Amino acid sequence: MHIRTYAIAATFAAAVTAGLTLAPTAAAGQPSPTTSDFNGDGYADLAVGVPDGAVGGKAKAGYVNVVWGGPKGLGSRGSIRVSQSTAEVPGSPEAGDRFGASVVLEDLNGDGIAELLAGAPGEDVTDRGVDAGMVTVVGGARGGPSHGSTALTGPAASAAYGGSVAAADLTGDGSRDIVIGGRDRVVLRTADGILTTVLDAPMGGRAPILATGDFTSDGTADLALAYWTVDAPFTQSHVRLWAWDAAEEGMANTWNTDNAGVSALAAGDFDGDGNDDLALGECREIADENIDDPCGPEEYAKGGGIHVHYGSGPDGSFGQRAQTLDQDTVGVPGVAETGDRFGASLAVADVNGDGRDDLLAGAPGEAIGTQAGAGAATLLFGGATGLVDASGEGHAVSYQQDTPRVPGVAEAGDAFGAAVAAGDYDHDGRADIAVGSPGENARSGGVWVLPRASADGSYTVTPAKLGLPAVAGGLAYGQTLSSH
């Protein structure tokens, strides 16, 4: 059984302390099923973080728009807004809270209904200061949200907890634990209430990028995190793996690749060998002191490269085998160009049902014709040797707003592919993909849904269709997505 989730760090930084108790699942030691069904109707839902949204007249107080899945796909049954003005959610909306800067839909307690985790890195906390930050957990329920709790708040001003968030069973007790990224810090709150700092280090004043997966095939999830800095106070870049150390009641660093700066991480079994692999999106060398090619051959970094470290081999070691690809790889549509940002967002699903995971990679900087930054998303198919076959070729299909049967028109600055997600939104047994385009329509934004990862029957989910109120400067709807 694979246990993987992934979370994209918002560009705004984010960090923790207080009181959620998560009940263990019935089958202790086994991960609960991964689900994004927030209302318990059997359909995967999509959480869209809208940190730029106004709530009660408070600019950028932020909210999460949960779009319901259904037999006709996302949005056909409407959506709900979850914010600090929602009765079940603690706190009150304030200008600049940016609730929804990070979002995760995850079944924390194994009851088959997802909980919503929402980060608010701009939250001011009494006795701690401005922008201490907070992460809220809101329970799912039939017909709407149930009780919400403050999972963690930042310990001091500018800690900005909640810039990134992830959830997985990291301790092996059968319940999901919560990982929170703040400004220059990563912390873990276990399901039984243990609070521990995973890493406290210069991260460029940003929240780290987080992902989880069972990279060692021991039945318990591991944590992957990435961060980089430029002259803050020095230049560095790292991707690291951490595993729970029961004796120390904390996380232990188990694997590193230094000098690799990335924009996204995702875990999936791309070669079908039963071991989770780790994909590094928009991988590039930051520190310019490369001795081990942390992102693969340098020529693959142009326009953004994807570097994959494959799961444990017979000797139990992770990452001994690696592959790199970009838009110049044979079989991958497009051409690698500076500024494409290929791999800036990642999502994983077995789209074609062959038992191997496929990787959806956004390239929000991709120029479509003369339209700079219109954006694209590429679906890279897994195979017997991973995302690159034995001949060194990829197998992929690319989508953008000028693709036949895909709604809309590619326009400069749409940033199609800024965020991506996957889920079986119509419950037909096949994965659908969702692509955010936050620059669409003067930053009003939108999400493009491709059922069964096909342009056939593709449609849009937009603020106008869902009746969301517009704000000055635009909602940038689609900048943050979560479902699986």
Amino acid in the structure at residue 227: Y
pLDDT of residue 315: 64
pLDDT of residue 312: 78
Would you say residue 19 has pLDDT above 70?
no
Measured CA distances, 48 to 74, 163, 377, 437, 461 (Å):
12, 15, 18, 12, 11
Pairing of strands 376-380, 459-461: unpaired
Q: What is the mean pLDDT of residues 323-350?
A: 97
**What is the tens place of the pLDDT at every residue in 130-169?**
999 999 999 999 877 999 999 999 999 999 999 999 999 9
Percent pLDDT > 90 in the chain is: 80
pLDDT of residue 187: 98
Nearest residue to 484 (alpha-carbon basis) of 59, 7, 110: 7
Would you say residue 236 has pLDDT above 80?
yes
* CB 125 within 8 Å of CB 136: no
pLDDT of residue 483: 66
List, in order, residues 6 or more apart from 66 with CB less than 8 Å away: 38, 45, 46, 47, 48, 79, 80, 81, 82, 105, 116
- 3-state SS, residue 348: strand
Q: What is the mean pLDDT of residues 320-337?
A: 96
pLDDT of residue 22: 32
pLDDT of residue 286: 84
Q: What is the mean pLDDT of residues 11-15?
A: 31
Would you say residue 404 has pLDDT above 60?
yes
Nearest residue to 105 (alpha-carbon basis) of 447, 429, 484: 484
Report the residue count for the chain: 484
Under the banding of pLDDT at 50, 70 and 90, the label for residue 239 is: very high
Measured CA distances, 198 to 130, 244, 245, 291 (Å):
23, 10, 11, 27
- 3-state SS, residue 311: coil
| 464 sits in which H/E element | helix 463-466
Nearest residue to 379 (alpha-carbon basis) of 454, 304, 302, 481: 454
Residue 2: Cβ-neighbour burial (10 angstroms; 0-12, 13-18, 19+): middle
Would you say residue 445 has pLDDT above 50?
yes
pLDDT of residue 32: 32
| CA–CA distance, 68 with 79 (Å, rounded to integer) | 5
pLDDT of residue 110: 86
Average pLDDT score over the chain: 90
pTM for the model stands at: 0.92
